[in-house]
Chain A
Amino acid sequence: MSEQQKLHSFVLYVENQPGVLNRVASLFRRRAYNIESLTVGHTERPGISRMTIVAGISEGAAHRVEANLYKLAPVLSVEDVTHVPIIARSLAFIKVAANDESRYRLMEIARVFRARVVDLANESLVIEITGTEDKVHALVGVLRPFGILEMARTGQVVMSRGTKPPANGHSAGRNDLLLEEEAPQSV
């Protein structure tokens, strides 16, 4: 990531049907933007899925992606939640090498991080942690010296704070964002 790039989080409501993920991902691919994480899951409404996409891109690129996501027929709504108050969590399983000497220290570390030991074997244990990216990152840093054997992480799931309803239609008023947009980069 260059200096002017930062992590942007997009929340999308999409129709749950074949090919939608491909259409969405293709908008990032054709501009050579790398997706850092992507989660998809069901919502409270049948047939509608929610995607959370995190990508390291510039402010201008984020606006361009958002505006183009709007144009996909199966996309019901798009919101760049980078600049709004949100709760963000991801989950990780971390399998760490463990012996009689280190096992209890690892369990103590897990306790301090409010993580859970979900599997315990003679030579390893698996810690499950849910938290912000920073928290997961910090735990990984502490565990690394013990020897991380395997790690599986979900992408971020985010939700805006408070009672503001999610943007799930193409309502008016979104245009205000456009005026704040930074000057695009010259080609």
Chain B
Amino acid sequence: MPKNKKTGAEIIWECLERLGVEYVFGYPGGAILPAYDAMTRYKVHHVLVRHEQGATHMADGYARASGRVGVALATSGPGATNMVTGIATAMMDSSPIVCITGQVGSKLIGSDAFQETDITGITLPITKHNYLVTRAQDIAPSLREAFQIASSSRPGPVLVDITKDAQNGSCEFDWEAAAPQRQHFVRGSFYNKTQLAEAWELINQAKRPVILAGHGIILSGSEPEVLAFAEAACAPVALTLLGIGAFPASHPLCLGMMGMHGEAWVNKAIQESDLLIALGMRFDDRVTGNLKTYAPTAKKIHIEIDRAEINKNVHVDVPLIGDLRELLPQLISGVKRVDRSDWLSAIDDSKQESAVRDIQSLPDDGHLYAAHVINELWRETNGEAIIVTDVGQHQMWEAQYFRHEKPRTLITSGGLGTMGFALPAAIGAKFANPKAEVWVIAGDGGFQMTMAELATIVQEKIEIKVAIVNNGYLGMVRQWQEFFYDGRYSSTPLWSPNFQKLAEAFGILAFTVNTRPGVIPTLRAARQHRGPALIDFQVEQEDSVFPMVPAGADLHAMIRRPSPLIERATDV
């Protein structure tokens, strides 16, 4: 008589518990019913979402805020296909999530059964790996390996599709025997002493080095090593969007965000540099602009855990493949202290040209600008809140006007640029970090994509604050139409409901603000409220994000601030 016989459904929860999972974000349905039934006998807290896309973004937000694996659960067919956007988002931003989907019974697979879909086929190119599990005894090995693959090397999403008969079937549960067998994908370092020596030589001889700091730093937890390296090498640090938080914004060596909406001095420094040291980043097109003219005089050192990223977009002189946390101490050991004050002061001088960033000293012209809203939020929260943004203009203004000192305090969809990400991702971030103050910053467009998750916030009784940057347009697309399509605003004007009344219908404290003096008192009222709150900031409608490097243009050929802010500000 077997000692430890369990159903497949029980094994799912047994495994999740043993893997340290506290929260699962999901939505029940026919093919996942056995798992939902067994769930009641386990300690894992299930968060009922309003749409499965929300479940994946919550798992993603949880993973990004905590560094642990986020888990989403859904049924077969539409439940599974609704997860696709969230999975692709996690794939592009290397976020470790495991999605568990129910599947029709194994004998029905391929028969076009009710709510049957080939979700392993659909998600093949947007997962690190996926599994179709048809037998109860395969559940534990698949789940254990799924967690290992999701969180190892360069993290990413893994999907485990479990048939209903596998959930209903039973077998001997043996945790030890289910330990992951594959080890080869947990890749180690690939570099040799010669390459290390070449890197040292390049760094020590460089006169104008720039460190490009990416998301990989946060994923590997190597922020202290990066700080030590930048200080040892006396090299300024430019951040990618997802690298924000990897290096303290207040540090004298911190330049801020690079790329399409990076400040002019950051991109100028990159273009003039003689050595780029890329740490855990992938030279995305939003970061490089035209590759032919990108950092033409710079040698490049690329330190990255994923060898497929080496020489993908930019040819590098020295690639070092491995985990930054292991690699950087070695690199630091050969770095000589070189005086680079000329280079640093040259960058500082070019900053003076862009003094418009000091938006606090601009007089009030009666208009409310998003930049002010975000900057005040930064001041009011002492920069200590976790900010979860959506995608678009407000996302870029956040990157420019909210200064992040710590990792995992900005959560945003970078690679895929998924509108609707913010609200559900913030729910995940709050569960990962219940004591933290969590703010959503979303546009009126993206917010309406997933605003149904307000109900999840209320049902779960969690405290999330929402700032809607409401300009009545799909702002970033409108901006492109203004710049590149002769101002033909095709389908970008956007009607919205009364967000204050909408939030009140959910029982959420809500405000509307349309003047600059209203910003601070309302932020304070929302922060003091013990519970969720929403503020509809009705901002200047046709404001644009500056500076801007048009897609595919040279990084130094940016559209500078035409100072509309200043002109209108002094217009009073």
Contacts and interface: CB of A to CB of B under 8 A. Distances in A.
B568 interface: no
Interface in A63-96: 63-64, 67-68, 70-73, 76
Contacts of A19: 120, 124, 132
B158 to A, nearest CB: 9
Nearest to B292: A186
Contacts of A186: 290-292
B307 interface: yes
A73 B149 contact: yes
Interface string A45-66: 0000000000000001001100
Contact of B308 (A60, A70, A172): A70
Contact of A178 (B121, B188, B310): B310
Contact of B192 (A60, A64, A72, A175): A175
A68 B447 CA distance: 35
A26 B125 contact: yes
B312 interface: yes
Interface residues of A, number: 31
Nearest to A27: B125
Nearest to B319: A178
Nearest to B184: A170
Contacts of B501: none
Contacts, number: 73
Given A22-B121, A175-B321, A187 B307 contact: no
B187 interface: yes
Contact of B307 (A67, A179, A183): A67
Contacts of B308: 64, 67-68, 70-71
B290 A174 contact: no
B285 A76 contact: no
A71 B124 contact: no
Contacts of A23: 124
A183 B307 CA distance: 15
Interface string A91-132: 000000000000000000000000000000000000000000
B495 interface: no
B570 interface: no
Contacts of A176: 192
Contact of B306 (A63, A71, A72, A181): A71
B315 interface: yes
Given A73-B129, A174-B190, A184 B312 contact: yes
A184 B184 contact: no
A30 interface: yes
Interface in B155-200: 182, 184-185, 187-188, 190-192, 195
B311 interface: yes
Nearest to A176: B192
Nearest to A71: B308
A183 B190 contact: no
A141 interface: no
B219 to A, nearest CB: 16
A60 B314 CA distance: 12
A74 to B, nearest CB: 8
A30 B88 CA distance: 15
Interface string A137-179: 0000000000000000000000000000000011011111011
Interface in B297-340: 306-308, 310-315, 319, 321
Nearest to A29: B125
B132 to A, nearest CB: 8
A26 B124 contact: yes
A175 B307 contact: yes
A18 B129 CA distance: 13
B190 A67 contact: no
Interface of B: 120-121, 124-125, 128-129, 132, 149, 182, 184-185, 187-188, 190-192, 195, 285, 290-292, 306-308, 310-315, 319, 321, 552
A-B CB proximity, top 6 nearest: A67-B308, A175-B190, A183-B315, A186-B291, A73-B129, A181-B311
18 contacts: A23-B124, A67-B310, A70-B307, A71-B185, A71-B308, A73-B182, A170-B184, A170-B187, A172-B188, A174-B190, A175-B190, A176-B192, A178-B307, A181-B311, A182-B315, A183-B311, A184-B312, A186-B290
Interface of A: 18-19, 22-23, 26, 30, 60, 63-64, 67-68, 70-73, 76, 169-170, 172-176, 178-179, 181-184, 186-187
